[in-house]
Structure 1
């Protein structure tokens, strides 16, 4: 597997510069066998958009963060902005892929889509397994969406939104069934907002009190809600996000431990080393060595 070398930034691909799915706010393609993947997709990278892929059949393996996914027949794969993705090699695949940006979700007609479980992805999942009926329903709707996508006109946007709403709602129901998402409520919304703020600020904010200020609640109230809703202390969610990003960089890049520590907002590498050891029972160097030995 290719790695990012020292001092080489992790590339971020916008939808407009994607070599396969190039578009502005929304794009869609049919995949009918081997794709001519550009070399930049075969090294660790981030996508600045949402990617949805229905794999009717195919081969190959890709990684989202540190988790490998081998293509399965009639499965649905999805990822969101800023996750670290890499394909091991170009392999043939048949199916349909579509992508859209956060700006697309912000359009008035599409606002409800951004609230769906599949898009919010609270379980950090990236694969839905479809039975025969689910696959047939998904494929039929994708055929309708593809037809509208290639038929510009006055009603195109409304038809795309209507079909996408049905498809993503249907897949969100499957998502909740497969990943057992619990009921939402006011407190659950606070937890989701807390996670969203952590995603935005984890590099520079490491304290619960800082996030409480952003959410306009007291640190004690935030800690209580997070503990009740998740079963874990509020600080654990911040630490989990920092460890996740550290693992991404240790696995996918050749950055030094000092560079990773600095990127994650630690004042010195020794403190980062102690933090990572406390959270994972391994030093960063030990983790890097073990994960490379396992997968390279």
Structure 2
């Protein structure tokens, strides 16, 4: 738990001595352990992380959800999540990490639209069949070979293998979490939620997001309500509440600091907003959620 005067650390993707790639890294643990001192406190990463856990003996939190790490299971997270590990005795895993900048490169641009990357269902664990596990192991082995082979072709080869892996995992994601297709209306909902994730601290009105998406507020509201069953403004409010809950659960920041971090200039308005959306004051939520999980 972070004390009130500690800010959530954001861990950057550091290039290693093997490949030196600023935007892509591969991690291997064969019974060894990562540096846990930084991982045992709540933190964010500035990159995406996909990890195949072959064997582990611990639990990790992603936002407010605990995950008992399962053997031969894939776990994934993005730059916005708050992550806490509960420590490992031993760990067998392979992980790949990559930044938003890696996804924005011209040949990688379509990867940012994949369901696994967008993660609209807010899930972080994929079950793997024996065939799935074989495929993932094969792709990770190929990525590892290219990762350690510094050449003019390295970037293209990493992109090719990563594209295949993420596409395969996105198919599993939609099968396991019931993605409902890719109609124009569904894609608009996805784009709306992506924009909220980028701008929720600054933009609070449906009209703001309609302008970003170059459509009318009325059309956006209608499509979002039909596709999600909830008003567009509700999605904006839920994103603010999610971030508030993350900070209330994982840090000891005072309410004034949390309110300011979320773009509220008045703590009393933040309190009223939070209670209206959740039925609890921020202080009551913090007390109840910590009592439940600690």
Q: What TM-score comes out, normalization by structure 2 length?
A: 0.94
Give the CA deviation at 1:215: 2.1
**Partner of residue 139, structure 2:** 141
Q: Distance in 2 between matches of 1:287 and 1:91?
A: 33
Aligned with residue 249 of structure 1, among 239, 247, 250: 247
Q: Distance in 2 between matches of 1:22 and 1:256?
A: 40
**Partner of residue 202, structure 2:** 204
CA gap of 1:15–1:292, structure 2 versus 1, over 3 A, is same
**Partner of residue 50, structure 1:** 48
Q: What TM-score comes out, normalization by structure 1 length?
A: 0.93
Q: Distance in 1 between matches of 2:244 and 2:21?
A: 31
1:156 aligns with 2:151: no
Give the CA deviation at 1:155: 2.7
**Partner of residue 99, structure 2:** 101
Answer yes or no: is the 8 Å Cα contact 1:11–1:46 preserved in 2.
yes
Deviations 1:173-210 (A, max 9, x none): 11010001011122222212211221122112222122
Give unmatched runs, 5+ long, in structure 2.
Answer: none
SS at match of 2:88: coil
Q: Distance in 2 between matches of 1:209 and 1:91?
A: 51
**Partner of residue 27, structure 2:** 29
1:182 aligns with 2:180: yes
Q: Distance in 2 between matches of 1:291 and 1:116?
A: 33
Q: Distance in 2 between matches of 1:229 and 1:286?
A: 33
Q: Distance in 2 between matches of 1:123 and 1:253?
A: 25
Task: Choose 264-273 or 225-234, whichever is displaced more.
Answer: 264-273
Give unmatched runs, 5+ long, in structure 1.
Answer: none
Answer yes or no: is the 8 Å Cα contact 2:45–2:79 preserved in 1.
yes
SS at match of 1:29: strand
**Partner of residue 291, structure 2:** 293
Q: Distance in 2 between matches of 1:68 and 1:123?
A: 16
Give the CA deviation at 1:17: 7.2
CA gap of 1:6–1:72, structure 2 versus 1, over 3 A, is same
Aligned with residue 214 of structure 1, among 197, 212, 215: 212
Aligned with residue 66 of structure 2, among 60, 65, 68: 68
Q: Distance in 2 between matches of 1:182 and 1:119?
A: 16
Q: Distance in 1 between matches of 2:203 and 2:235?
A: 12
CA gap of 1:22–1:252, structure 2 versus 1, over 3 A, is farther
Q: Distance in 2 between matches of 1:85 and 1:62?
A: 7
Q: Distance in 2 between matches of 1:52 and 1:100?
A: 9
Task: Choose 267-276 or 24-33, whichever is displaced more.
Answer: 267-276
**Partner of residue 118, structure 1:** 116
Answer yes or no: is the 8 Å Cα contact 1:4–1:10 preserved in 2.
yes
Answer yes or no: is the 8 Å Cα contact 1:55–1:75 preserved in 2.
yes
What is the aligned-residue RMSD (CA, Å)? 1.8
Task: Choose 224-233 or 278-287, whichever is displaced more.
Answer: 278-287
**Partner of residue 79, structure 1:** 77
How many residues align? The count is 292
Q: Distance in 2 between matches of 1:51 and 1:74?
A: 16
